Structure 1
Amino acid sequence: MSAGCLNKNSLSIAMLLCAGLLLAGCSSDQSSDAGSYSGSVYTVKRGDTLYRISRVTGTSVKEIARLNGISSPYTIEVGQKLKVSGGAKTSTASRKTTTKSSTKTAAVTPSSAVPQSSWPPVGQRCWVWPANGKVILRYSTADGGNKGIDISAASGTPIYAAGAGKVVYVGNQLRGYGNLIMIKHNEEYITAYAHNDTMLVNNGQSVKAGQKIATMGSSDAASVRLHFQIRYRATAIDPLRYLPPQGSKPKC
Structure 2
Amino acid sequence: MSSGITFSHWLRPIICLFLALSLAACSGSASRNNTPISGSTYTVQRGDTLYRIALRSGSSVGTLARLNGISPPYTIQVGQRLRLNGSSTSKTVTPKASTSATTTARNSSMSQPEKLAPASWPAPGSKCWRWPTQGKVIDGWSSKDGGNKGIDIAGTRGQPVYAAAAGRVVYAGDQLRGYGNLILIKHDENYITAYGHNQSMLVTNGQQVKAGQKIATMGSTGTNTVKLHFQIRYKATALDPLRYLPAQGKSPSC
Q: Which has the higher contact order (CA 8 A, sep 6+)?
A: 1
Aligned AA (2:120)? S
Counterpart Cα distance in 1 of 2:113 and 2:152: 18
Specify which structure has the higher proportion of helix: 1
Decide whether the 8 Å contact of 1:11 with 1:168 is kept in 2: no
Aligned AA (2:158)? G
1:56 aligns with 2:30: no
Of residues 75, 80, 97 in structure 1, which corresponds to 2:53?
A: 97
Instruction: Give 1:20's aligned residue.
Output: 17
Decide whether the 8 Å contact of 1:109 with 1:235 is kept in 2: no
Instruction: Give 1:224's aligned residue.
Output: 226
Q: CA RMSD for the aligned pairs? A: 2.5
Unaligned runs of 5+ in 2: 35-47, 63-107
Pairing of 1:91-130 with structure 2 (within 5 A): 91-92=32-33, 94=48, 96-97=52-53, 99=55, 103-104=60-61, 106-108=108-110, 110=112, 113-130=115-132
Counterpart Cα distance in 1 of 2:181 and 2:174: 5
Over the matched positions of the two proteins, sequence identity in percent amounts to: 50
Decide whether the 8 Å contact of 2:142 with 2:149 is kept in 1: yes
- Give the Å deviation of 1:91: 1.3
Of residues 202, 205, 215 in structure 2, which corresponds to 1:203?
A: 205
Decide whether the 8 Å contact of 1:110 with 1:235 is kept in 2: no
In structure 2, relative to structure 1, the CA distance for the partners of 1:161 and 1:109 (3 Å cut) is farther
Aligned AA (1:151)? I
Decide whether the 8 Å contact of 1:151 with 1:225 is kept in 2: yes
Aligned AA (1:143)? D
Q: What's the TM-score once normalised by structure 2's chain length? A: 0.69
Asked which structure has the greater CA Rg, the reply is 2
Instruction: Give 1:65's aligned residue.
Output: none
In structure 2, relative to structure 1, the CA distance for the partners of 1:108 and 1:187 (3 Å cut) is farther
Decide whether the 8 Å contact of 1:14 with 1:169 is kept in 2: no
- Give the Å deviation of 1:57: 5.5
In structure 2, relative to structure 1, the CA distance for the partners of 1:57 and 1:157 (3 Å cut) is closer
Counterpart Cα distance in 2 of 1:183 and 1:14: 10
Q: What's the TM-score once normalised by structure 1's chain length? A: 0.69
In structure 2, relative to structure 1, the CA distance for the partners of 1:145 and 1:195 (3 Å cut) is same
Unaligned runs of 5+ in 1: 26-53, 60-83
Decide whether the 8 Å contact of 2:202 with 2:215 is kept in 1: yes
- Give the Å deviation of 1:143: 1.7
Q: What is the count of residue pairs matched by the alignment?
A: 193
Decide whether the 8 Å contact of 2:61 with 2:110 is kept in 1: no
Aligned AA (1:20)? L
- Give the Å deviation of 1:7: 1.1
Secondary structure of the 1:17 match is: helix
Decide whether the 8 Å contact of 2:25 with 2:178 is kept in 1: no
